[in-house]
Each structure stands twice: as C-alpha cells, then as structure tokens.
Structure 1
Amino acid sequence: MTADLGNEKRALRADLRQRRRSRTSTERDADSSSLTATLQRFVEERQITSVAVYLSAPDEPDVRPFLNWAFEQGIRVLLPVTREDGLLDWAVGDGASEREGLFGMPEVVGEVLSPLAINDVDAILTPAAAVGHDGVRMGWGRGYYDKTLGSMARRPPVYAVVFDAEYLEEVPREPHDEPVDGIITPSRIITFRS
C-alpha cells in the first residue's frame, strides 16, 4: 500500500466513524426498522434458507432485528468468529448468546465451525465502512472479510450492509480489496453483478 492510499483510507474511515457516532437515536431507530424490512425482502425474494451475517456493533447498521426474524423463520444463520491468524471461523448461533471477540467486537457463542462452513450459505452479508459504485468494499482495516472472500474458489453472492450515505462514488482500492456483488441499505438493494 502506498503511503498516500493508506492515508486516504484512514482519513475516510475516520470521517465515516464520526458520521456514524453523530447519528441521533431517532435516525438509528428509523434506519434499523427500514434496514430490517429491506433485509427481509432480500431474503424472501431470493428464497434464502441459509445466510452468513455478523453481529452489529452499536455504530453499525443494526442487523439484530433481522437476525431475530431470521431465527424465527428457521433460516440457518452463520456468524463470524475472529481468529488470531486473520481468518474467520463460523458458528451457528441464535444471536442471543454473545461475547466480546478480538478487537472488542461482538461475537456469537456457539459451536465453532471451520472457515469452509461459509461455502454452503445462499448469501453472505458483510459489514463495511463504505462501498463504491463499482462494487469496491472498504472495510475497517483488519482484512478479515477480504481474506475470507479472496480465499473462496466459488462464493455465494456477497452484499455489504451500509447506511445510504456510505454508498460513495468511489472508495480507495488496494489489490487485496475484494469487491462485493451488491449492497443493502435501509432504503434499497443494489446489485452490481450476479
């Protein structure tokens, strides 16, 4: 990574973190309700029976109401478990039992499956800091999803979950940054490639 690109990414991430932290509780509640409806529509339209998701942190788009709905519908949900080596294991969870994982992020408590377990889901929903119009996903800098997605020979459709304002004209891209197939925001589903 060039120093300029690294600085550009750090500055954009800092700006996005600040925007997320400055959201009001009213904005968060409205987006949570809208995002839940959009995620439900995504799953129903595609007849998804298994999905890889994540446990959202307080400033992230709130996927927890969707997780509760998915469990009630009998959808198999895999949730990530971070590893020291930079890869993700996966666990089937109910979304209710969690612990603090590496870097202070919430993680599911449950039977841990291998990194290969994600190969069998119908779709992968990833967190992101922002996504460009060309499908380039910028994460938060740890590289877990880039490594996971980059290691898959055949992967199910991957959609990043972001706030509407985080769908940008473009984001800085490095060679290891993995593109996504689409985004899901509180107001819409956009597919870049199928």
Structure 2
Amino acid sequence: MSDPDSYKCQSGFSSPPCYAADIAADYFDPHAPAAVDPQQANDVARWRRSERKRLRDARAEGSVAERHANGAAISAHLRTLLDERFDGAKGRVFSAYWPIKGEPDLRPLMAELHAAGVIIALPIVETKAAPLIFRLWTPATKMQRGDWNIPVPPPDAPELTPEIALAPLVGWSADGYRLGYGGGYFDRTLAALTPRPFGIGIGVDTARLTTIYPQPHDIPLDLILTPSGPQSPPT
C-alpha cells in the first residue's frame, strides 16, 4: 500500500513549558469555575502550537513501513476492543477518520467492519467553528474534497450519530486528554452530542506527553489506543 497521504485526492515525553511552574493549579482543572488568566491561556496556546509542530515533524519522519505497522497494530487492538466491549459493534454507528499527514491508516479495518455489519461514519466540517457532523461511508462511497482537502462523503450521504468515535491524535496524555490540530472541533462535538459517544483517541506511543495542560473546554477521551495497546483511561 502506498503512503496514506497519496489518498488525499482519491475515492518521548515532552519537556514542560518554561512557564508551567507559574500557572495556578486550578487553571488546569477542566471543572474549575475560576476565570482563566489571559496571559496563562496565551502561554498554554503558544506551548501547544510548538508541541504540535514538534510532534507532527517527528511523525512525518517515520517511514511508510512504520506507518503501515502502526495502522495494523492499532487495527488489531480495535478489533479486540470492539469484540470485548461492544460485542463486535454490529449494527452500531462507528465513526472513523480518513488519514492525513502520517496518521495511522485504519481504512482496511473500516472496510472489514463494514462487511461485518458495522455502520461506518466519517466526520465532516460543514460549518466553521461548529460541531462536526457525521455521514455514512461505505467502500462504494464516492468521496469529495472537504475541509483541509480531506476526502469526505457527499452531502447526500445520510447523516448519523456515532455511538463510538475515533479521534486521531497529534499528542496525548495518560489522563485521556488529546492534543489535536487546534481547531477544537472534536471537543466541541463531544460537548454537543447526546448521548456522548465512546471516544477513542488514536495515536502513536512516541506522541505521549506528560500533560497537555487542560483548559476548561478540553474533554478527556474514554480511551487512548496506540500500537502498543490501550493506554490508561481517565479516572
């Protein structure tokens, strides 16, 4: 199989930021009612931008063989998880993702799950700064270009609400928090969906961070999954 990035147009631990010791502990509590200090928020945002670049650069340096191995290992763990926790997920709506920028490629698993009766959906940015929507995907779906040129199902594909949702990670922490691409779409979506889907972060072991310095809008995932297996979920 070719590099996942070629499909775009087709159907260690981080060092803590230098300012971390100066930030009040309750700032990082997502349930803390106190107002966030603007300077502290700016510091965290700047640190996150730096970490995103570092982690994405490191991921881009990985070989195609490493990416394929990561995707295969994560797919195996996902099969086990779906079998053990969701009885195979047949008839359930399972939101996956189309891989970009070196993300683990789970498309073979998507096709396999579809054949087993799992209902596959893909997330779509249809309105800027709004929750994602999810539309039905099958191996026969004729994809079109969406936000960031990511292939997505067409507007006439049925809209679905996922029971299980994958979230690709740029970075992650053992308490279940996700460092994404910075748009806030996945957190916004989790906050809006009722009932909330079981959220699974998909990333690589080397993208683990000691913390992402959670902000009040950050929502922890139910599970982080890497090539080495399930990681510690939030308590």
Q: Is the Cα contact below 8 Å between 1:56 and 1:106 reproduced in 2?
A: no
Q: Deviations over 1:118-177 (max 9, x none)?
A: 2xx431111221111111112111111111001134313211111121232211322211
Structure 2: distance between partners of 1:41 and 1:139 = 25
Aligned to 1:11: 50
Tell me if the contact between 2:169 and 2:180 (Cα under 8 Å) persists in the aligned partners.
Answer: yes
Q: CA RMSD in A?
A: 2.0
Aligned-residue sequence identity (percent) comes to 27
Structure ranking higher in strand proportion: 1
Deviations 1:57-81, CA, capped at 9 Å, x for gaps: 1411111111111111111111111
Equivalent position of 2:28 in the other structure: none
Larger Rg: 2
Distance 2:170 2:137 in 1: 24
TM-score of the pair, normalised by structure 2 = 0.74
Counterpart code for 1:98: M
Distance in 2, matches of 1:111 and 1:20, equals: 34
CA–CA distance in 1 between the matches of 2:211 and 2:101? 25
TM-score, length-normalised on structure 1? 0.88
Q: Distance in 2 between matches of 1:110 and 1:78?
A: 13
1:60 aligns to what? 103
- 1:111 equivalent in alignment to 2:156: yes
What corresponds to 2:134 in structure 1?
90
Instruction: Give me the whole-angstrom Cα distance separating, in 2, the residues matched to 1:95 and 1:179.
Output: 31
Paired residue type of 1:20: R
Gaps of 5+ in 1: none
Letter in 2 for 1:107: V
Q: Which of the residues 51, 63, 66 maps onto 1:24?
A: 63
| Larger RCO, structure (CA 8 Å, separation 6 or more) | 2
Give 3-state SS (helix, strand or coil) of 1:126's partner. Answer: strand
Aligned to 1:72: 115
Which residue of the partner structure matches residue 142 of structure 1? 183
Deviations 1:4-32 (A, max 9, x none): 11110000000111011100112112112
SS of 1:145 mapped into structure 2: helix
User: Aligned ranges for residues 176-187 of structure 1 at < 5 Å?
Assistant: 176-187=217-228
Give unpaired runs (5+ residues) of structure 2: 1-37
Distance 1:193 1:109, change over 3 A: same
